[in-house]
Amino acid sequence: MASAFPLVGKCHLLCGGSMQLVASRGPGSTPTPSSGTSSELPLSLRLVQDQLQKWIRGNVSACGSSVFIFDEMDKLHPGIIDAIKPFLDYYEQVDGISYRRAIFIFLSNAGGDLITKTALDFWRAGRKREEIQLKDLEPVLSVGVFNNKHSGLWHSGLIDKNLIDYFIPFLPLEYKHVKMCVRAEMRARGAAVDEDVVTSVADEMTFFPKDEKIYSDKGCKTVQSRLDFH
């Protein structure tokens, strides 16, 4: 049975790369150009919204199962993303085009502090991070990004009208996860896993909060460069 509206998800991370809009058009399709950074956006908000709508409309008309990924939503000017609201709403078609099979994914650093707070509360209560459920974070993230002026979804109709299906949190990485990253990188390089090296690289990373030092400041981002020196 076909969905009555597109699948929409928002993923929250503690750190990320440059903002870009990416469309996947399926096997054998031609590449779709991505947008530039927020600093390159035209001055007219309405013009940007019009360009975004045309870009999405063109891709979905070519492939109804297009997947759109919006990276670093927190760097997007508030209000721009509301241009896609008609495509996510409960309409059979918009201007003769159905968006019911399209998938929209928003990646954001916004809400990272809320995720960390929840994870830390569980840790301080002696509970495992595996016990954290989506229901423990989804309502907090929804309200948090809606009220965050730097989330890209500040007072957005996408949240206000409940058009985002899932808010997916990425929990901060602990010491044991950093060691897993080191092992994975060593295997990727075709090297034997040396646990002394794994521990050494993990020990070089910085962790927070200041007192407990549980979570890696940079996730696993610097593992590759640090491993080069071992």
Identify the pLDDT of residue 48: 84
Last residue of a domain, one of 150, 168, 186: 168
Q: Is residue 87 part of a domain?
A: yes
- Residues 131 and 147 reside in one and the same domain: yes
Identify the pLDDT of residue 72: 83
- Residues 53 and 147 reside in one and the same domain: yes
- Residues 85 and 187 reside in one and the same domain: no
Identify the pLDDT of residue 43: 56
Q: Would you say 100 and 2 are in contact if contact means Cβ atoms under 8 Å apart?
A: yes
- Residues 164 and 180 reside in one and the same domain: no
Identify the pLDDT of residue 222: 94
Identify the pLDDT of residue 76: 81
Q: Is residue 7 part of a domain?
A: no
- Residues 103 and 198 reside in one and the same domain: no
Query: Which residues are paired to 167 by β-bridges?
Result: 10
Q: Is residue 114 part of a domain?
A: yes
pTM, to two decimals: 0.70
- Residues 144 and 129 reside in one and the same domain: yes
Last residue of a domain, one of 120, 143, 168: 168
For residue 101, give the nearest of 59, 138, 145, 149 by alpha carbon.
Answer: 59
Q: How many domains does the chain have?
A: 2
Identify the pLDDT of residue 28: 39
- Residues 68 and 147 reside in one and the same domain: yes
Amino acid at 118: T
Question: Structural domain of residue 207, as residue ranges?
Answer: 175-228
Last residue of a domain, one of 138, 168, 198: 168
- Residues 82 and 160 reside in one and the same domain: yes
Identify the pLDDT of residue 16: 30
Q: Is residue 67 part of a domain?
A: yes
- Residues 189 and 117 reside in one and the same domain: no
- Residues 158 and 180 reside in one and the same domain: no
Identify the pLDDT of residue 179: 97
pLDDT, tens digit only, all 230 positions of the chain = 445 545 555 565 554 322 333 333 333 333 333 443 344 444 578 888 888 899 999 999 999 999 998 888 888 887 888 888 888 886 667 778 888 889 999 888 888 889 999 999 999 999 999 999 999 998 888 888 878 777 777 778 788 888 888 888 899 999 999 999 999 999 999 999 999 999 999 999 999 999 999 999 999 999 999 999 99
Q: Is residue 216 part of a domain?
A: yes
Q: Is residue 8 part of a domain?
A: no
**Rounded CA separation 45/51 (Å):** 10
